[in-house]
Amino acid sequence: MQSPSRRAFLVGRRTERSPWETFLARLRRAVQGSVHDFSTETGSARLVPGHMQDVYHARSLCLEHGITLALDGMPSSARLDDGPVLWVEPGAALARCERLGPDDPRWFVQPGCLIGDLEQAGLPQFRDQPPHLTVAAWLADRRACDWDCGDTAASGLVHALVLLADGTQANLGAFGVDNRKPLDNLRVQGMIPRLFELASAPAADALRAGGLWNGRYRLDALRPAEDRTINLAHLLLGHGGELGWVEWLVFDERAGHPCERPYESRYGNRPGTGEPGCETDLAVRALFDPDGIFPDQSQQF
């Protein structure tokens, strides 16, 4: 019988994996989609999910290993090279786009659906937007979703299912006397009072510049124009991929219209521009992602 030392000499000692290599090995075993390692010094890889379960596995492993989970394909994405990051690209496996019914004006849309397909389907809010973008990247882009204060309903977005950092699935939609569905989710139920408190605070008023909203997260959606209904899904407009992972969306083709005003830099021409240190924005992010799984500054301006 060979001794352990003799056997190690003959076959060579197994090199111990780094934490990043361990994470990638576990991820590849858990998912059906493709994983590509960019071989950077800090650790960077891309996951193209084969189905939504892959994103669930990725979230869990990112939380366990301290990896940032970032949406891939968003315009002006920040480099995020201060630590390990997993870029998740919603590809063809998550690209369904279909009416809810034969004569229904509402559309069920998965995050990998292309903007060009939605424009061809007749949804006006996607007119003149880059056709190659996924709807997830469009929704996350602050420039594309820069509607006037209180006018977030112009996005046509009526509902969203979002995977939060702790693994909770949050149903976000219309909220009011006739629609209390968000309260069915205990996680969201605990967030709602604080979100309304933040939206009504003087600090939020300071983020209004005339008709423009200068916060990073659309708290103005909770104080819509008089003829509009409060909709919690509108908090995701321009969220930068920093609040959660969007599983699917519902759009109403009758409600949307393009955001036609040219976007002005949040770090230049507009006052009170919602920099990363803005107290109100930090409070919103802490409600959605207290563990910091998602990026805290995903776009460059």
Is residue 136 situated within a structural domain? yes
CATH code for position 112: 3.30.465.10
The reply to whether 199 falls in a domain is yes
Pair (75, 127) in one structural domain: no
Same-domain status, 83 and 195: no
Same domain, 155 and 282: yes
Q: Is-above-0.85 flag for pTM?
A: yes
Closest CA to 215 of 270, 160, 137, 289: 270
Kindly state whether residue 297 falls inside one of the protein's structural domains: no
Per-residue pLDDT 10s for the chain (301 aa) are 555 555 555 555 567 889 999 999 999 999 999 999 999 999 999 999 999 999 999 999 999 999 999 999 998 888 888 899 999 999 999 999 999 999 999 999 999 999 999 999 999 889 889 999 999 999 999 989 999 998 999 999 999 999 999 999 999 999 864 555 656 678 888 999 999 999 999 999 888 877 889 899 999 999 988 878 899 999 999 999 999 999 999 999 998 887 876 555 444 444 444 454 489 999 999 999 999 999 988 887 5
Residue 300 in domain: no
Residues 107 and 247 in one domain: yes
99 and 161 both lie in a single domain: yes
Query: pLDDT per residue over 137-183, tens digit each?
Result: 999 999 899 999 989 999 999 999 999 999 999 999 998 645 556 56
* Residue 165 falls inside a structural domain: yes
Please indicate, yes or no, whether residues 268 and 207 belong to a single structural domain of this protein.
Answer: yes
In a domain, 295, yes or no: no
Two tokens, residue 229: 């209904």
Mark whether 82 and 208 lie in a shared domain. no
What's the confidence (pLDDT) of residue 268? 46
Q: In the listed set 62, 88, 114, which residue is the last one of a domain according to the structure?
A: 88
Quick one: 132 and 71 in the same domain?
no
Q: Indicate the number of domains in the chain.
A: 2
What is the predicted pLDDT for the residue at 178?
56
Of 88, 118, 136, which residue is a domain's last? 88
> In this structure, are 72 and 114 located in the same domain?
no
Instruction: Confirm whether 14 is domain-assigned.
Output: yes
pLDDT at residue 242 in the model: 96
Residue ranges making up the domain that contains 136: 94-288
Together in a domain, 62 and 186: no
| 135 and 223 co-located in one domain | yes
In a domain, 294, yes or no: no
CATH number of the domain where residue 67 is located: 3.30.43
Question: Domain boundary at 88, 109, 137, which?
Answer: 88
Q: Do 161 and 255 fall within a single domain?
A: yes
